[in-house]
């Protein structure tokens, strides 16, 4: 079993999807020295550190999701991985990747094209994204939970699920955010890092400090 096959085995993806993700891994290795898409020391472990770590978000999303927005997509994690899996399992998914760095947007668009993945890349700041509810909001290694919830407010509706991977400091971020937000969540253990979790935010609203 190859490293790619082992990393993706828990997610039941097809050979075609694995091929799309192999294209992503190759492009990342080619582009990363020029524009620093991910930490250079993690490129050799791309299948576990980035691709499988992103794939587990798709497994937590509602299977009937129709729209998904990924904030601060950077090197395409999780956005491009979500797109590759959705091409097989939910081809009607309306997927948007938001990234303010135009060089990274060029990578995202190029990678999506070469992977054969249908998605939209928005080259703008998150605050400038057109408001309206999406079924799923994701963000990886972007900001603290408190800030992420602020970004999510205009993009969330009653049925929206937020999926935010967090490291060993997740409990502290939840405590910090609780000063400003009412949050209903679940913390799912990460399948790629024993110290990490994926926070599934099921409901959130401004807390007492923001009431008028």
User: How many other CB atoms are there within 10 angstroms of residue 12's CB atom?
Assistant: 11
- Helix (H), strand (E), coil (C) string for 18-31: HHHHHHHHHHHHHH
Is residue 168 classed exposed, middle or buried when 0-12, 13-18 and 19+ CB atoms within 10 A define those classes? exposed
User: How many other CB atoms are there within 10 angstroms of residue 194's CB atom?
Assistant: 8
Instruction: Please give the annotated binding residues, written as ranges.
Output: 72, 77, 126-127, 140
Query: How many angstroms separate the Cα of 191 from the Cα of each of 10, 49, 53, 56, 197?
Result: 9, 10, 7, 7, 9
Structure tokens at 148: 């992420």
Instruction: Please give the annotated binding residues for S-adenosyl-L-methionine, written as ranges.
Output: 72, 77, 126-127, 140
Give the span between the Cα atoms of 160 and 66, in whole angstroms.
11
Cα–Cα nearest to 58, from 113, 117, 101 = 117
């Amino acid at each position: 079993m190859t490293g790619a096959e082992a990393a993706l085995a828990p997610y039941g993806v097809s050979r075609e999807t694995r091929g799309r993700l192999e294209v992503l891994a190759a492009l990342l290795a080619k582009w990363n020295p020029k524009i620093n898409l991910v930490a250079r020391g993690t490129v050799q472990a791309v299948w576990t550190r980035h691709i499988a770590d992103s794939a587990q978000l798709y497994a937590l999303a509602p299977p009937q999701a129709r729209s998904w927005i990924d904030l601060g997509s950077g090197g395409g994690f999780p956005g491009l991985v979500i797109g590759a899996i959705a091409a097989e399992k939910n081809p009607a998914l309306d997927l948007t990747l938001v990234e303010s760095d135009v060089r990274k947007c060029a990578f995202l668009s190029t990678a999506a094209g070469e992977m054969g993945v249908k998605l939209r890349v928005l080259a703008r700041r998150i605050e400038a994204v057109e408001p309206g509810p999406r079924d799923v909001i994701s963000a990886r290694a972007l900001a603290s939970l408190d800030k992420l919830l602020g970004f999510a407010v205009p993009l969330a509706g009653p049925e929206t699920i937020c999926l935010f991977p967090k490291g060993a400091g997740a409990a502290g971020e939840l405590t910090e955010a609780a000063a400003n937000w009412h949050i209903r969540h679940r913390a799912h253990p990460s399948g790629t890092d024993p110290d990490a979790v994926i926070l599934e935010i099921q409901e959130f609203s401004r807390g007492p400090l923001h009431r008028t």
